[in-house]
Amino acid sequence: MGVHSTFFGPIKYAILPQHLEPDEVLGGTGLVEAGTYIAILGGTLLGGLLVLERTDGTYHAEWAALCVLLVAVAGRFIGGMVPPAPPVEDPEVDGFPRRGLDWHILRASIRLVSATMHVPRLFLAVLSISFFWAMGAVLAAQFPPLVKNSLGSDQTVATLFLAVFSIGVAIGSVFVNWLLKGKVSARYSPGSALAMGVFVLDLFRRVRTWPINRGELYSMDQFLALPNSWMVVVDLLGVAVAGGMFVVPLYAFLTTTVPKSETARTIAANNIVNSGFMVAASLILAVAIGIFEITVGDSLLIVAVASIIAAWLGWKLHLACD
């Protein structure tokens, strides 16, 4: 799956400028992002239904594994229906003749990132996207313990949170295209990042004052019947909508700022940096919880601080490009 994502991630964004008009790339990027999150949600829900419990308390996932194979076959079939996007002639890469695939992963990664990050506008865009994914990594890691330990609720509430977050990103991804009228611009990125921070801070405030549940974990129906529970859902939805509005124009910027022959490499370099930030965010979270013993709710402040930095980067990109 990791190898599949390594190839598929750059390709799905890189071919958009070849198939779409310049004023359609932002909308296409939004639909790709929205579809990705809806698919993640659908796969998570379906996986939960297909992993069955045996009579001895263990689980078997044969049906889930079969479904993965069927989805893969369907994806291959549908992918074959995408119109051809032949590579643009580019005999040289960064001043060096193309020599085919470099099997030295570390050297190739460093060269790829260096070739992209030395361009100031791309540098700002990649860092902004990386902060978004770092914040997303922290939130995603905190969903299960946040729901169980801080809100006293069960797995159905965690699934609800995932559903709300996925749908929210999809809404934001499409809504920002409507606001920008198809123009690729970082105009709304700073405000979107700050909005993420505001919603996270309100979520932090509600989690900190949430009454302790000393009985059985709340089900989804019981949780939604509690006072202020819907505001927790609204906060989470707000974070996700603002996140979609923040990141989609930046992806569209990456694919439209560079020549078409370089779009896949630019997205690949962005993915490498994103992965580094996500790992760093996870390590910071682990140290904060394990050594400094901060609570799961308090860790939301990390996301709020990161949103301020993301807003500053988005503002710098807006000034540099718009």
Angle subtended by helix axes 62-79 and 25-50, to nearest 10: 160
Q: Can you tell me the distance from the alpha carbon of 9 to that of 25, in angstroms, rounded to the nearest whole number? A: 16
What tokens does 117 get?
A: 């990050």
DSSP letters along 111-167, please?
HHHHHHHTSHHHHHHHHHHHHHHHHHHHHHHHHHHIIIIIS-B-HHHHHHHHHHHHH
pLDDT in the model for residue 292:
76
Tokens of residue 277, six digits:
């930030």
Q: What is the pLDDT of residue 141?
A: 77
At 117 the pLDDT is 75
pLDDT for position 55: 66
Please give the CATH topology (third level) of the domain spanning 2-50+104-321.
Growth Hormone; Chain: A; (1.20.1250)
Contact between 167 and 39 (Cβ < 8 Å)? no
Cβ neighbours of residue 96 closer than 8 Å, sequence gap 6 or more: none
pLDDT at position 96 is 42
User: What stretch of H or E contains 316?
Assistant: helix 300-321
pLDDT of residue 102: 65
Q: Could you give the 3-state DSSP secondary structure of residue 226?
A: coil
Determine the pLDDT at residue 90: 56
- The predicted pLDDT at position 94 comes to 47
Domain layout of the chain by residue ranges = 2-50+104-321
d(CA 25, CA 59): 44
Among residues 132, 196, 169, 142, the alpha carbon closest in space to that of 37 is found at 169
* Residues forming a β-bridge with 52: 60
Residues lower than pLDDT 50 in the chain: 93-97
Q: What angle do CA 160, 164, 168 make, to 5 degrees?
A: 170
Q: What is the pLDDT of residue 322?
A: 62
In this predicted structure, what is the pLDDT of residue 104?
67
Task: Read off the pTM.
Answer: 0.84
- Between CA 215 and CA 211 the distance in angstroms is 12
pLDDT of residue 201: 92
Cα(275)–Cα(258) distance, integer angstroms: 22
